[in-house]
A and B are shown apart, each in its own frame.
Chain A
Amino acid sequence: MDTMNTPVTEPIYAQPSASVDDHSRVPGNSGIWVGIFCVLVEFFLLFIVYFVAKAHHPEAFETGPDKLVTLAGVIITLLLLTSGYCMVKAVESIRKDAATKAFRWVILAFILGCGYPLVKYFEIQWNMAHGVDTKAGIFYTVYYYLTLNHLVHVFWGLLGLGWVAVRTHRGIYTAKDYSGLEAAAVYWHTTDVIWLAIFPFFYILR
């Protein structure tokens, strides 16, 4: 971690991280923002599908949440927000050159993030046992389509967290260059922002 490994040479595309006081800085790197903008456009279109379906089938969307487990949605939200907080602390730590601390925060973020697919698994098991499948109605079709799509993006985020955990452990990130770690963090926070809309759409709004 801090002292156990010799830092590996950064790829040529990596740039030293700009000062956090530089108001024109791009957090992480440009590449991750291309990906994030694509994700935002994708989910914006999926949200339009949700609103169109809701406008055409208001009764289904008014009663739909009653058959879902609100607790599962709440736990997923708490896990994502807490995991996101851990990534904030990881970035804070690496800015102080505390790589060991940063590594522990990333690992904690990863473990909490893994709770999401686990809760989702049990939620879907419960749904299936109670007849809430993709053929149960338009509300549930849109619910599965949107939430499973989000889950796929969470998997990408978890892969990213795993990757930066390894690199943090190897001492690659420093207070002067932590763009990779920050890129994973901003992507992870984007999945938070999207989930904060999905959660009330299906579990709360009637």
Chain B
Amino acid sequence: MGHAEKIWLLLIGLTLAGAWFAETGNPGWPLTFIVAGLIGFKGRMVIDHYMEMTRANARIRHVLYTFNTIIPLLVIFSHGWGDLFRRLTTLN
């Protein structure tokens, strides 16, 4: 089995595992951390192995890494500090 096949199987497996957890687990911190981790990890797999960013221009790589890091952090932030986020985004 080649490298691309292993990455594809890993991504498929993680997608199915995430969906199973969502259907059986309860909302809360565990689900939030799993979702944030899956977004970050699967995104990184696609960026590194499908887009071959490990062997590409550093600026392009950093933009993609930044995008892929901020989104999972926002998932955690919005769950744990929803009130603060609401206050910050309320117009009075």
Contacts from A to B (Cβ < 8 Å): 20-27, 33, 37, 40, 44, 47-48, 51-52, 54-56, 58, 62, 65, 70, 73-74, 77-78, 81-82, 84-85, 87-89, 92, 185-186, 189-190, 192-193, 196-197, 199-200, 203-206
Contacts and interface: CB of A to CB of B under 8 A. Distances in A.
Contacts of B22: 65, 70, 200, 203-206
B73 to A, nearest CB: 11
Interface string B61-92: 00110011011001101100011011001100
A81 B55 contact: no
A200 B50 contact: no
Residue from A37, A92, A189 having most chain B Cβ neighbours under 10 A: A189
B89 A200 contact: no
Contacts of A70: 19, 22-23
B interface bracket (residues with beta carbon within 8 Å of A): 35 or more
Contacts of A58: 82
A62 B27 contact: yes
B46 A192 contact: yes
B55 A23 contact: yes
Contact of B89 (A55, A78, A92, A192): A55
A29 to B, nearest CB: 12
Given A204-B19, A205-B32, A27 B4 contact: no
Given A81-B8, A88-B4, A204-B19, A193 B57 contact: no
Contact of B67 (A40, A87, A199): A40
B67 A44 contact: yes
A164 B53 CA distance: 21
Interface string B1-40: 0001101100110011011011100010001100100110
B46 A206 contact: no
Residue from B4, B46, B55, B78 having most chain A Cβ neighbours under 10 A: B46
B51 A186 contact: yes
A197 B40 CA distance: 9
A52 B4 contact: no
